[in-house]
Amino acid sequence: MILALAGNQNSGKTTLFNQLTGSNQHAGNFPGVTVDSKIGEIKGHKGIKVVDLPGIYSIRPYSNEEILTRDFLLNENPDGIINIVDATNIERNLYLTLQLLEMNIPMVLALNMMDEVRNNSGTIDINGMSESLGIPVLPISASKNEGIEELVAKITEISEKKRRPKRIDFCKGAMHRCIHAITHLIEDHALIAGISPRFAATKLIENDPAITELLKINDNEKDMVEHSVSEMENELGMDRNAALADMRYAFIEGVCAVTVVKPHESKEHIRSVKIDNILTNKYLAIPVFLCIMLLVFWLTFGLIGAFLSDMFSSLIDGAASAVDVFLADYGLNPIVHSLVIDGVFAGVGSVLGFLPIIVTLFFFLSILEDSGYMARVAFVMDKALRKIGLSGRSFVPMLIGFGCSVPAIMATRTLSSERDRKMTIFLTPFMSCSAKLPIYAVFTAAFFRSHKALVMISLYIFGMLIGIISGLVMSRTKYKGKPVPFVMELPNYRIPSAKSVLLLMWDKARDFLTRAFTVIFFAAIIIWFLQSFDLQFNFVEDSSQSLLSKVGTFIAPVFKPLGFNDWMASTSLITGFIAKETVISTLAVLTGSGTESLGAVLGTIFTVPSAISFLVFTLLYTPCVAAIAAVKRELNSGFRAAVFAFTQCAIAWAVSFIVYNVIRFMI
């Protein structure tokens, strides 16, 4: 049995999905968390799966989320729908409910956040609403796990019995005549296509091209549909979409008038309005945001994260020394000994030491997200982003980009404009991902020990600045045009959920550890092998005679104008294409350094200007191969992905060249 979970953004869908399946999907307090559909099995009900669809406000073919939801419901034929509704804002949420009812699929309405309704003296006549809508209605609180068992029992029952919604004809007058005329006209086509005739009729009125093509109606029937729509528009004095919306909202208002006693304005909302007077203030919003982010970065890189990272690095180096002594006493073959210590421990250990920094950063970011503040930042950034041709909605993928470019690029699916989407995909990698943190940490510790936090913050800001400049150029050249209008729901501020914060931290830590013991582990072994053997596959004591040095020396001249004409530096940048963490693991393997001693060795390879140039290049050059694959998938073009990667490298080279020469001149 397959069940679809559908609802508005911020209605609690992902939270309910986690309660139903025991999955640990991250539930953020801003729209756009569910980028793609997720599937999981309901706890205690083997064989019953639920699909968490993206949050939408209507089934209209405008955005990718709406198209994905519509296509899933039409093509996958789910056995039932759980329509989750925010009970504190029920009128707006029921608009999607009416469209889902027209699809004639077994459905249950889950009234979420009923605890908030009760706490603010509101009431909802559950039985009355169920009678009015023709489907079971159940009160729940997903965050408190209230009513979940009853919900599962009811949706399972009606899905097994294929109990479809009772037919409720809420249209009247000219709209009634139009819908029924078209329904009768295309009923046979709809039944052949396997969709509800009523739903098909309303989609034809909305002029949905996908449904028109699916129904395979001829030109004569199309003319008759347009004739019926024109008559309805002339009689009502409004266009087709406005007429449909008016019909639905009129019915919703009637249902709510007899079944809903609206709650008083909640304490949470009153508190949120007061906070927003400062955090979304015309003059204070951006300075406050910058101050908050500076505090986060300072705590991460200069106080908490750095302290924990140093402790963790010492433990790793201690473990490496203990293993080194044990293997020497054991008399292990020197080559295998070198592989374990100089390959595995040097490569993986050099990266693992920065796990505390990454976890600390996402601890603070998840608090900001879960509290509802990040939704305000997207709202505030709308005006600034419009100056480079984007809307505030593009800020959400960019924000995700600070964690990882892959989900950030996927998150651009939430953008309705293809122009905005392509621009955002190009600009997102300029938001420094967490995989680059080990590079920044090692180099700042080696060259800027007394200003580590300031240098790291400067790198993040510099990446955003280059993104802004690139956006300005793109919006005036290839991607001319205006950004789409931006409408975004601002949720109430709430105290961050400890579970949600810990889940995000664990998710990032697990992702980092997975890469450390897979991609980075194998990359470290390959790098060790290439730097330990020559062209005749003889073991070499001096890595400058190795296979890898030959390749690195061939590539090094490309980076000479940037200040680092060293084969080890150029080799690390090439391996960084696999995963950015391997830049540090490669340098550790090539120099035979531990986590703490690597910084000292780098001082013999780089000068201060060349170190800054190297940092700028790693900040800006092409993201990892997984991100390039995501670009290829989202743009549906391998050529565009290749151009994207080349362009990022060209920008990185040009900017690093300028930075290196400016700093060298200043010094």
DSSP assignment of 132-166: HHTS-EEE-BGGGTBSHHHHHHHHHHHHHTT-PPP
170: pLDDT confidence band, cut at 50, 70 and 90? Answer: confident
pLDDT at 177: 93
pLDDT at 437: 87
In sequence order, what E strands does 370-528 have? none
Long-range contacts of 530-534 (CB under 8 A, 24+ apart): 531/589, 531/590, 532/335, 532/338, 532/342
Q: Which residues lie closer than 8 Å to 210 by C-beta, 6 or more apart?
A: 61, 67, 70, 71
DSSP H or E stretch at residue 408: helix 405-410
pLDDT at 69: 85
pLDDT at 24: 59
pLDDT at 25: 56
> 2-160 in CATH: which number?
3.40.50.300
Residue 666 has pLDDT above 90, yes or no: no
% pLDDT > 70, the chain: 96
pLDDT at 604: 84
Chain centroid to CA 651: 25
Q: According to DSSP H, which parts of 121-239 are helical?
A: 126-133, 148-160, 173-193, 197-205, 209-215, 219-236
Helix axes 219-236, 240-259, angle to 10 degrees: 60
DSSP assignment of 353-395: TTHHHHHHHHHHHHHHHHHTHHHHHHHHHHHHHHTTT--GGGH
In terms of average pLDDT, the best of 377-381, 499-503, 641-645 is 641-645
C-alpha span between 581 and 366 (Å, rounded): 22
Q: Do residues 247 and 120 make contact, with C-beta atoms less than 8 angstroms apart?
A: no
Higher pLDDT, 79 or 580: 79
Higher pLDDT, 385 or 3: 3
Residue 479 has pLDDT above 90, yes or no: no
- Write down the pTM of the prediction: 0.73
pLDDT digits (tens, 9 = 90+) for 215-258: 999 999 999 999 999 999 999 999 999 999 999 999 999 999 99
Q: Do residues 369 and 29 make contact, with C-beta atoms less than 8 angstroms apart?
A: yes
Residue 165 has pLDDT above 80, yes or no: yes
Residue 125 has pLDDT above 90, yes or no: yes
Residue 391 has pLDDT above 90, yes or no: no
pLDDT at 29: 46
Helix axes 638-666, 418-427, angle to 10 degrees: 40
Long-range contacts of 173-178 (CB under 8 A, 24+ apart): 173/235, 173/236, 174/231, 174/232, 174/235, 174/236, 174/243, 175/232, 175/236, 175/243, 175/244, 175/247, 177/228, 177/231, 177/232, 178/205, 178/228, 178/229, 178/231, 178/232
pLDDT digits (tens, 9 = 90+) for 10-60: 788 888 998 898 865 555 444 444 555 678 899 888 889 999 888 888 887
Q: Do residues 185 and 225 make contact, with C-beta atoms less than 8 angstroms apart?
A: yes
φ and ψ of 146, to 5 deg: -100, 130
For residue 126, count CB atoms less than 10 angstroms from its CB and return exposed for 0-12, middle for 13-18, buried for 19 or more. Answer: middle
Q: Does domain 173-261 fall into CATH 3.30.470.10?
A: no
pLDDT at 594: 63
Location of each CATH 3.40.50.300 domain in the chain: 2-160
> CA 74, 78, 80, 82 torsion: positive or negative?
negative
pLDDT at 242: 92
Residue 134 has pLDDT above 90, yes or no: yes
C-alpha span between 380 and 503 (Å, rounded): 27
pLDDT digits (tens, 9 = 90+) for 436-456: 988 998 898 889 888 887 888
660: pLDDT confidence band, cut at 50, 70 and 90? Answer: very high
- Strand arrangement, sheet containing 2-7: 38-41, 49-52, 2-7, 80-86, 107-112, 137-139
Location of each CATH 1.10.287.1770 domain in the chain: 173-261
Q: Looking at 105-109, 154-158, 587-591, which range is the least confident one? A: 587-591
Provide mean pLDDT across the span 261-274: 84
Residue 647 has pLDDT above 90, yes or no: yes
For residue 146, count CB atoms less than 10 angstroms from its CB and return exposed for 0-12, middle for 13-18, buried for 19 or more. Answer: middle
Q: Do residues 114 and 141 make contact, with C-beta atoms less than 8 angstroms apart?
A: yes
Q: Which residues lie closer than 8 Å to 490 by C-beta, 6 or more apart?
A: 272, 276, 372, 375, 376, 379
% pLDDT > 90, the chain: 33
To 5 degrees, how large is the angle CA 200–CA 205–CA 210? 55
pLDDT at 585: 84
Provide mean pLDDT across the span 100-121: 91
Residue 83 has pLDDT above 80, yes or no: yes
Q: Do residues 441 and 583 make contact, with C-beta atoms less than 8 angstroms apart?
A: no
pLDDT digits (tens, 9 = 90+) for 507-547: 878 888 887 788 778 888 888 888 888 878 888 877 778 88
pLDDT at 36: 58
pLDDT at 596: 63
Give SS3 for 306. helix
pLDDT at 661: 93
pLDDT digits (tens, 9 = 90+) for 189-218: 999 998 999 999 999 998 888 888 889 999
DSSP assignment of 325-349: HHHHHHT--HHHHHIIIIIIIHHHH
